[in-house]
Amino acid sequence: MVHEVKNPIIASKLAQLRNKNTPSKDFRELVEEIAIFLTYEAAKKFETHEITIETPLKSCRAEILDEKSFLIVPILRAGLAMSNGVLKILPNASIGHIGLYRDEKTFKPIEYLFKMPPHIEEKIIIAVDPMLATGGSASAALDLLKSHGAKKIFFLNIISAPQGIKKIAENHSDVEIYTAAIDEGLNNHFYIVPGLGDAGDRIFNTF
């Protein structure tokens, strides 16, 4: 259920993301662009339905995607930059928000926001967060979604650590992960190595 998306364009954009000298404006744009590619890849699993349309020459059958059946859920705050990319592909999707922060002593995720549209049990959910490190926050976010009825969830992130992938696989084996890179692991401060630093700080220029 883990898909590491290999693509020369993604690889080039990822190299720019990792570069510590990339400014915040460029960093935000790169996150959004990579999210577009990841959404395209995940879309291979999306279902369409047939309709009849009229071309300038004749009627024919065509397949369309029901964008309104999708719910994009950024995990705040860094997930906001990725959600913009997903919206470029699914502009009529709904958007929900999950706010979590990591306790500095226990390193456990603490919920501070859960805002969703009604009937999320009927939605195909695309949860987004640039970094999958320990998997604690991601797993907690998926717990919250499922506790409110969510059934079909895709999780998109840019860089993953093996520890985070293992956590999601153990707790949410039904959730498919799409990532641009699986890195070496975590350091003593639970940052992904080599990673790209703190994605939220680099997106919002708060470091």
Query: What is the number of residues in the chain?
Result: 207
Distance CA 100, CA 110 (A): 5
Q: Say which of 26, 66, 143, 201 is annotated catalytic.
A: 201
Angle at 8 between CA 90 and CA 5, to 5 degrees: 55
198 catalytic residue (yes or no) = yes
**Of 196, 199, 173, the residue nearest 183 (C-alpha):** 196
Distance CA 25, CA 34 (A): 15
Is residue 129 within 8 Å of 158, Cβ to Cβ?
no
106 catalytic residue (yes or no) = yes
Distances (CA, A) of 103 to 107, 109, 164, 176: 5, 6, 17, 27
Q: Say which of 106, 143, 183, 202 is annotated catalytic.
A: 106
Q: Write out the DSSP string of 118-129.
A: S-GGGSEEEEE-
174 catalytic residue (yes or no) = no
Q: Say which of 39, 198, 202, 206 is annotated catalytic.
A: 198
Helix axes 79-89, 24-42, angle to 10 degrees: 50
Q: Say which of 102, 134, 179, 202 is annotated catalytic.
A: 102
Residue numbers annotated as active site: 102, 106, 198, 201
